[in-house]
Structure 1
Amino acid sequence: MDRFFVDINNINIDNKTCIIEGEDVKHISKVLRCSVGDNLEICDKNNNEYICEITDIDKKNVFLKIVEKVDINRESKLKVKVYQGLPKGQKLDLIIQKLTEVGVSEIIPVVTKRSVAKIDDKKEDKKLERWERIIYEGAKQSKRGLIPKIKGPLTFKDALIDMKNNDINIVAYEKEDKLKLKDALKAQNINSIGIFVGPEGGFEEEEIDKLKESGVKCVGLGPRILRTETASIVLASIVMYELADLGGDE
């Protein structure tokens, strides 16, 4: 069943009605060719979801009635925030799509010393809109209960400030051969975690030193060197498996 996110203000629990607006209307009517009587999954972006039946469709709205509330919690209690060194080309598109599917709560592109990609201030809003759309589609496909946030790009300095809100922070570094990721995750009462991943070429040693000074745990990922887009997805997946619900119940 196809899934759509709807603003909570467009869901009337008392009257058991719901309205879909915006670009999704065209997708429902023209692409999916849905009609009156068809069912859709509706989520209010706050981990509440409903099975709804289409009662009417016009050019601007899809009108539905709520058939039942679905008692499924699809979101992990663990909040995972990924600080991704800004990569070249469209690699970030793939990264944010897959991180959304894995279950992370926030993605923050970070400008580092080895970041080749540059974002023109005039194009930043358009880039952010593109990334938000990719996340939205990824959240629908993977049936998330929430839509992950994306902000930035942040400077490396600002990322160090932002990470202070996390219970623990880790960074993957190819020269680290003492602390294993599994051991770093043995800390108790982890409700939120920040994951730092460098761009192509990784972090410079000066940046690694600053991360360590700020309390970030430096971990190795084994003998093989991973591409930046691979490292992000692998790290997030391992964290979600070890501390959250990937692969089973929490």
Structure 2
Amino acid sequence: MDRFFVEKKNINLENNTCIIEGEDVKHISKVLRCKIGEELEICDNDNNEYICEITSIDKDNVILDILESVDIKRESDLKVKLYQGLPKGPKMEMILQKLTEIGVDEIILVQTKRSVVNVSDKKEDKKIERWERIIYEAAKQSKRGKIPKLRGILSFKEALEDMKENDLNIAPYENERTKSIKQAVKGVDINNIGIFVGPEGGFEDIEIKSIEEIKGQVVSLGPRILRTETASVVASSIVLYELSDIGGNE
């Protein structure tokens, strides 16, 4: 069943109705070619979801009746924030898609010393808009209970300040050979965790020292060197496995 996110204000639980607006209207009517009477999954981006039946379709909106609420825990209690040193475009798209699928809560774009890409952080920037759309589509496909936030572009210094709010921060680094993620998180009471992954060229030594100065844990992802797009997904998956719901730990 196809899934769509709507704002809470568009869900009326008193009348058991829901309204879909914006680009999704065209997707429902022109791409999926949905008809009146067909059912869709609707989520309010706050872990509440409903099975709804289409009652009206026009060029501006789709109106649905709410048939039932769905009681499934889609989101982890652990909040994972992935700080991503800016890679090149195609790699960024894959990172955003896969991190959304596995359950990362927030993705923060960071300009590091070895980042070769410069992107404006203005909302109208086409790359940002495209990346947000990729996250949205991945959230629908993977049946997330919320759409992960995309934030940035932060400077390295701004990222370090932001990381101070987390219960724990880790940074995979190719020159670290002994400390694993499992060792870093063991015995620590964690509600939210930051993971900082460098761009294609990795971190510079001075950046690693700065992460350690704010008590970030530098960790190894194993004996093989991973590309940045692989490291982001692998590190997040290990964290969610060790502390949360990947692998059925909850």
Contact 2:121/2:153 (8 A) holds in 1: no
**1:138 Cα deviation after fit:** 0.6
1:184 aligns with 2:219: no
1:58 aligns with 2:58: yes
1:4 aligns with 2:12: no
* Per-residue CA distance 1:65-107 (angstroms, 9 max, x = gap): 0000011110000000000010123211110111000100000
Amino acid across the alignment from 1:16: N
Which residue in the other structure is 1:40 paired with?
Answer: 40
Which residue in the other structure is 2:224 paired with?
Answer: 224
Amino acid across the alignment from 2:187: A
Distance across 2 between alignment mates of 1:77 and 1:121: 29
- The 3-state SS of whatever aligns with 1:143 is coil
Which residue in the other structure is 1:162 paired with?
Answer: 162
- The 3-state SS of whatever aligns with 1:151 is strand
Amino acid across the alignment from 1:217: Q
Distance across 2 between alignment mates of 1:90 and 1:18: 36
Distance across 1 between alignment mates of 2:233 and 2:79: 15
Q: After TM superposition, list the pairs within 5 Å mapping 1:16-31 onto structure 2.
A: 16-31=16-31
Which residue in the other structure is 2:151 paired with?
Answer: 151
Q: After TM superposition, list the pairs within 5 Å mapping 1:1-250 onto structure 2.
A: 1-120=1-120, 125-250=125-250
Instruction: Rate the CA distance shift 1:121–1:71 in 2: closer, same or farther, 3 A.
Output: closer
Contact 2:121/2:128 (8 A) holds in 1: no
Distance across 2 between alignment mates of 1:179 and 1:29: 52
Amino acid across the alignment from 2:190: I
**1:178 Cα deviation after fit:** 2.5
Amino acid across the alignment from 2:12: N
Contact 1:128/1:151 (8 A) holds in 2: no
Percent of aligned positions that are identical = 69
**TM-score normalised by length of structure 2:** 0.97
- The 3-state SS of whatever aligns with 1:116 is coil
Instruction: Rate the CA distance shift 1:127–1:69 in 2: closer, same or farther, 3 A.
Output: same
* Per-residue CA distance 1:147-185 (angstroms, 9 max, x = gap): 100111100000000011110000001111231221111
- The 3-state SS of whatever aligns with 2:83 is strand
**1:247 Cα deviation after fit:** 1.4
Amino acid across the alignment from 1:130: R
RMSD: 1.3
Distance across 2 between alignment mates of 1:10 and 1:181: 42
* Per-residue CA distance 1:29-63 (angstroms, 9 max, x = gap): 11111101000000000100000000111111101
Contact 1:25/1:62 (8 A) holds in 2: yes
Paired positions, count? 250
Q: Any gaps of 5 or more consecutive residues in structure 2?
A: none
Distance across 2 between alignment mates of 1:24 and 1:89: 25
